[in-house]
Amino acid sequence: MLTIRLQRMGKRKNPTYRLIISEKARDTQYNSLEILGNYNPTQTPKVLELKADRIKYWIGMGAQT
């Protein structure tokens, strides 16, 4: 089953995240089919960049959120 998940990136105590599509049973650190966006909670204001067309495509293909 495909899921849309957050993958933690960045340094210790300074995280950034990627929004990825991957198999539910797989580890997020190594296996991702596509990067769908980025989220940076440490910046002011918080930055969220998404590829809306690709997210709609994967949800249409049956990906869970």
Tell me the per-residue pLDDT of 7-54, one tens digit each, with 9 for 90 and over.
999 999 999 999 999 988 887 777 889 999 999 999 999 999 999 999
pLDDT of residue 16: 96
Fold of 2-60: S16 Ribosomal Protein; Chain: A; (3.30.1320)
Q: Which residues are 14's β-sheet partners?
A: 11
The answer to whether residues 18 and 37 touch, using CB atoms and an 8 Å cutoff, is yes
Q: What is the C-alpha to C-alpha distance for residues 20 and 30, in angstroms, rounded to an integer?
A: 11
pLDDT at position 61 over 90: yes
pLDDT of residue 31: 81
- What the block records as the tokens of 37 is 């966006």
Q: Which residues are 2's β-sheet partners?
A: 23
| Burial class (CB within 10 angstroms; exposed 0-12, middle 13-18, buried 19+) of 22 | buried
pLDDT of residue 24: 87
